Amino acid sequence: MELAQLRYFVAVVEEGSFTGAGARLHVSQPGVSAQVRRLERELGQRLLDRSGRRVTPTETGEAVLSYARAALAAVEGVRRTAEEFSGLLRGRVALGLIPGAAGAVVNGFDVVEALGNFHDEHPRVEIALSEDTSERMLAALLRGELDLAVVGLGGEPPAGISCQVLLDEPLVAAVRADDPLLAQSVNGGIPLAALRDRALISLPRGTGLRGVLERACTEAGFAPRVEFEAAAPAVLVRLAARGLGVAVVPSGAESGAESGAESGAGSRAGGALCALRITEPALNGRVALAWRTAGPAGPAARRLLGRLRAEAPGRPAP
């Protein structure tokens, strides 16, 4: 069994085709196919189902996949560790971000500025950025596919994940200035139950904020009626301004509505929207820097984690 065979097998699974794997590895498609077939013959099992439009792993292939990835990661770790002792930091760091995090400054912390400074000091380190839902990124951290991630937390982080909370903000309901909810508000807040029969606008499932909303509504005895979804709070607010529903967003994370905590009828933003604190119970949305509790495997990722933790505000998540 050769490392190249494992590398080709993993690439085919991730790309869903031999052609895509070949393009990614700069190898001809027949060469990829031949190496994978050789691996299958050696193991005496079919690893890939080639019958559909997309190549998928068989049951055996799924079982083998995690070991193949671990073997490749171990070899990469050996290489990076040896390079670390050469005095020149090299390697690759996979960093996941919730949508909008790259363009935001959280409590004075600018992730793009921090990454730029790190790159200036360590130009041989490749930083691979990706955006996804928090749920999928936390799972990718546990699988070792991501080294670090900026995620939204809907509760306690899963076992094996450590976090540093960067932002902890109350959730508000952003509504038009003529919305009936304003008549129900008391000191700028409304009970969660007031949203029971309302069309809601929220982040997609798998995000921390959506998890907080769904969990609270379930405990209150109803399912949230989410009719519109978007990946960024600013878009949710714009949808609310068009009268499409009540946007549930973090206070301060949106540009179209401001906190109504100091006004009995809510705070107006440009005369178009009002933000009402959600109370009974009060809900909070948290954004956090997350990593595997055991620490990233590569020296470059460990160095970047230390840098981000030192520069970022916040505290460890419970």
Residue pLDDT, tens place only, 153-182: 888 889 999 999 988 889 999 999 889 999
φ, ψ for residue 126, nearest 5 deg: -90, 130
Report the DSSP beta bridge partners of residue 127: 93
Give the Cα separation of 79 and 3 in Å (integer): 14
Which two tokens mark 162? 């450590």
| pTM beyond cutoff 0.85 | no
**Cβ neighbours, 10 Å, residue 64:** 21
For 83-139, the pLDDT digits (tens) are 666 556 778 899 999 887 766 666 677 888 889 999 998 888 899 999 899 999 999
Torsion of CA 107, 165, 152, 318, to 10 degrees: -160
Give the Cα separation of 246 and 282 in Å (integer): 17
- Asked if 312 contacts 221 with a C-beta cutoff of 8 angstroms, the reply is no
Instruction: State how far the alpha carbon of 252 is from the alpha carbons of 97, 121, 171, 249, in Å.
Output: 19, 33, 9, 9
pLDDT per position in the chain (318 positions), as tens?
788 889 999 999 999 999 998 888 888 888 889 989 999 999 998 999 998 889 999 999 899 998 999 888 888 778 767 766 655 677 889 999 988 776 666 667 788 888 999 999 888 889 999 989 999 999 999 998 999 999 988 888 899 999 999 888 899 999 998 899 999 888 889 999 999 999 999 999 888 889 899 999 999 999 999 999 988 888 898 899 899 999 999 886 544 444 333 333 444 444 478 899 998 899 988 889 999 998 887 888 998 999 999 888 766 665
Q: In the block, which residue shows the tokens 């928090």?
A: 134
Query: Which domains can be identified in the chain, with CATH numbers?
Result: 3-75 (1.10.10.10), 91-166+286-316 (3.40.190.10), 168-285 (3.40.190.10)
DSSP the chain: --HHHHHHHHHHHHHTSHHHHHHHHT--HHHHHHHHHHHHHHHTS--EE-SSSS-EE-HHHHHHHHHHHHHHHHHHHHHHHHHHTTTS--EEEEEEE-TTGGG-EETTEEHHHHHHHHHHH-TTEEEEEEE--HHHHHHHHHHTS-SEEEEEESSSPPTTEEEEEEEEEEEEEEEETT-THHHH-BTTEEEGGGGTTS-EEEPPTTSHHHHHHHHHHHHTT----EEEE-SSHHHHHHHHHTTS-EEEEETTT-SS----TT-TT-EEETTTEEEEEEETTT-EEEEEEEEETT--SSHHHHHHHHHHHHHS--EE--
- Asked if 122 contacts 89 with a C-beta cutoff of 8 angstroms, the reply is yes
- Computed from CA positions of residues 203, 204, 210, 213, in that sequence, does the dihedral angle turn out positive or negative? positive
